[in-house]
Structure 1
Amino acid sequence: MQSRSAVRRALLSTAGVIALAAPATPAAAAPTPTPMQSSNAFVEVTPNTAQPGTRVNIRASCDQTNNNQATVESQAFGRVVVRPNNGFLTGAVTIPGNRAPGTFDVNLTCPNGNTAHTTLTVVNMSKPTQGPATGGGGTAGGFGGPVVLVGGLAVIVLGGGLWLFSARRRPSTGP
Structure 2
Amino acid sequence: MRGLRPYGGVRHVPSTIVRLFGAFALIGAFVLVGSAPARAGDNTFVEVTPNSVQAGSRVHLRASCDNANNRQAEVTSDAFPRVSLRPDNGFLTGEATVPGNKPAGDYPVHLRCNNGQTASTTLTVLNMEQPTKGPATGGGGTAGRSTGSVLLLGGAATVAAAVVFGLVSSRRRAGGS
Specify if TM > 0.5.
yes
Q: Which has the larger radius of gyration?
A: 1
Give the superposition deviation at 1:86.
2.6
Name the SS for the 1:84 alignment partner.
strand
Residue from 116, 122, 130 that aligns with 1:119: 122
Map 1:99-118 onto structure 2 (within 5 A). 99-118=102-121
Give the superposition deviation at 1:60.
0.5
Aligned equivalents of 2:109, 2:79: Cα separation in 1 = 8
Corresponding position of 2:38: none
- What amino acid does structure 1 have at the position aligned with 2:117? N
Name the SS for the 1:170 alignment partner.
helix
Corresponding position of 2:143: 141
- What amino acid does structure 1 have at the position aligned with 2:136? A
Give the superposition deviation at 1:40.
0.8
1:164 is the counterpart of 2:171: no
Q: Deviations over 1:131-154 (max 9, x none)?
A: 3433445x7522754553343233
1:88 is the counterpart of 2:119: no
CA contact (8 A) 2:81 2:96 kept: no
Q: Deviations over 1:109-160 (max 9, x none)?
A: 22333222222232345554433433445x7522754553343233212212
| Deviating more after overlay: 102-111 vs 124-133 | 124-133
Aligned equivalents of 1:115, 1:136: Cα separation in 2 = 55
- Aligned residues between the structures: 135
CA contact (8 A) 2:68 2:114 kept: no
Which of the two has greater strand per residue?
2
**Cα 1:136–1:79, aligned 2, differ >3 Å: closer, same or farther?**
closer
Corresponding position of 2:101: 98
CA RMSD of aligned residues (A): 2.9
CA contact (8 A) 1:65 1:87 kept: no
Corresponding position of 1:43: 46
Residue from 77, 81, 97 that aligns with 2:80: 77
Residue from 64, 68, 73 that aligns with 2:67: 64
Residue from 116, 130, 151 that aligns with 2:154: 151
CA contact (8 A) 2:68 2:115 kept: no
Q: Deviations over 1:16-69 (max 9, x none)?
A: xxxxxxxxxxxxxxxxxxxxxxx7111112232333333322110111342332
For structure 1, list consecutive stretches of 5 or more residues without a partner in the other structure.
1-38
Give the superposition deviation at 1:96.
1.8
Q: Percent identity?
A: 56
Aligned equivalents of 1:91, 1:151: Cα separation in 2 = 63
